[in-house]
Amino acid sequence: MELDLKRARSETPGCQHVLHFNNAGAALMPQAVLDAVVGHLRLEAEIGGYEAASQAGDIIERVYEAAAQLLGCHSDEIAIVENATRAWGMAFYAISFQPGDRILTAMSEYASNYIAFLQVARRTGAVVEVIPNDEHGQLSVEALRAMLDERVRLIAITHVPTNGGLVNPAAEVGQIAREVGALYLLDACQSVGQMPIDVQAIGCDLLSATGRKYLRGPRGTGLLYVRREVLDQVEPPLLDLHAATWTSADSYQLRPDARRFENWETNTAGKIGLGVAIEYALGWGLEAIYRRVTALATDLRGRLAAMPAVTVQDQGIERCGIVTFTVAQRAAEAIHAVLAARRINVSTSLLTSTRLDMEARGLQSVVRASVHYYNDGDEVERFCAALEETIMAGPAPDEDQVMEQFARFPRRK
Ligand SMILES: Cc1ncc(COP(=O)(O)O)c(C=O)c1O
């Protein structure tokens, strides 16, 4: 079934204002999400924050059910937190590493995750090892197999990296993790919301995701999946009176479910908005969403590849909605700035976000144009026309200044 594009666009207020190819940064919220967030904030203002949360109790429970449906798990395996980094960190820092334990990761691992590996390796004597890529630029399943032994404690990889359309073979990795008895933590920050994700089929024990990217939820929301069977093998690095109960002067008891990875105070309006965003995505169907996203991205890549000055930088056998490219003799930041001045939203992915991969490919930065199902063919055409004009015009005399000004804005991820 084709997705009703007209409805998708009419339910997305931002479509009237911008050409938004920054869905891997933060997608445009649908009206239903906006209404849910604003509605709850209004209720908080009118009757009080605690009272509003209590009144919305059933709606809040539904957020967990929706997330469970999205990922193919049980609602007691879901924790709702502030963002993907917090979700991932709560899971990773919950693992007790011993000297010599091996952490296997991949070339396209996200900076925040890798920094955490380095910190934990320094603290505990665990070692971090990187699985090489295969000839397609995705994690090599063969190479992973060759690296296995009983000291592999954790396999932690990124499903879709921040800097390209690559989709790593997550389910093959899950199969291997099970065979070797290692924990498997999947950073699904860029994949959840744009493609079907089934934690049973993938075989991961822990999965992190964010609300504002392909799920189209509000900022400041994220979620963590923790498989029931591993819940008692991983102890949250931070506890509070929501994660645990103070049972006597010198004891406490952890919650029985994944919410032990949450903390008490939370952005309830955001959480409700996240639930509505997930239900909205489920309403369209993740298969249909992914079909449309990949069709648009393939069209965009084809058009970009036909421009002599442009090099498409995406890798992998399967490629998703994130399209990255470089332009000869022009900094990615400059292209980003010129397009932004025309109300065309893209972002720039820098070496420091995925250092191993960018260094291996000799890239400093890439322009990232990430499409979603509510984008249309006309936008792809307008985008390409604007890019061609930008290339034809050459660097503006003040391009250095423009870039400097641009760099003062918070860095887009
Ligand atoms: C692959 C990947 N992991 C994690 C994150 C961090 O997500 P958040 O900003 O929600 O913490 C990002 C953000 O761009 C990402 O691309």
Closest CA to 120 of 141, 98, 142, 144: 98
Evaluate if residue 279 carries a pLDDT over 70. Answer: yes
| C-beta of 110 in contact with ligand 1 (< 6 A) | yes
pLDDT at 252: 98
The sign one gets for the Cα dihedral 197, 198, 203, 206 is positive
Distance CA(288)–CA(282), nearest Å, equals: 10
Indicate which residue's Cα is closest to atom 14 of ligand 1.
413
| Whether the model pTM is above 0.85 | yes
Mutate to test the pocket of ligand 1, among 22, 83, 107, 110 (most ligand atoms within 8 A of CB): 110
Q: What are the CA-CA distances from residue 313 to residues 137, 325, 351, 388, 403 (Å)? A: 11, 5, 13, 18, 22
**Residue 21: other Cβ atoms inside 10 A:** 28
pLDDT at 396: 77
Distance CA(126)–CA(293), nearest Å, equals: 39
Residue 355 Cα to ligand 1 middle (Å): 15
Evaluate if residue 401 carries a pLDDT over 70. Answer: no
Tokens of 89: 């960190």
Ligand 1 atom nearest residue 211's Cα: 10
What does the pLDDT average to over 385-401? 87
Provide φ and ψ at 84, rounded to 5°: -70, -35
86-108: pLDDT as tens digits: 999 999 999 999 999 999 999 99
pLDDT at 336: 96
pLDDT at 397: 75
pLDDT at 1: 66
155-183: pLDDT as tens digits: 999 999 999 999 999 999 999 999 999 99
366-375: pLDDT as tens digits: 999 999 999 9
**How high does pLDDT run on average in the chain?**
96
Query: Judging by beta carbons within 10 Å of its beta carbon (0-12, 13-18, 19+), is residue 318 exposed, middle or buried?
Result: middle
| C-beta of 87 in contact with ligand 1 (< 6 A) | no
Evaluate if residue 409 carries a pLDDT over 90. Answer: no
Distance CA(87)–CA(154), nearest Å, equals: 16
Ligand 1 atom nearest residue 187's Cα: 3
Residue 158 Cα to ligand 1 middle (Å): 10
What does the pLDDT average to over 34-53? 98
Indicate which residue's Cα is closest to atom 8 of ligand 1.
84
196-232: pLDDT as tens digits: 999 999 999 999 999 999 999 999 999 999 999 999 9
Ligand 1 atom nearest residue 88's Cα: 4
Q: What percent of the chain has pLDDT over 70?
A: 96
| C-beta of 390 in contact with ligand 1 (< 6 A) | no
What does the pLDDT average to over 136-140? 98
pLDDT at 2: 85
Evaluate if residue 411 carries a pLDDT over 60. Answer: no
What does the pLDDT average to over 255-267? 98
6's CB contacts (< 8 A; 6+ apart) are none
Indicate which residue's Cα is closest to atom 15 of ligand 1.
162
What does the pLDDT average to over 246-275? 98
Task: Report yes or no: 277 and 292 within 8 Å, Cβ to Cβ.
Answer: no
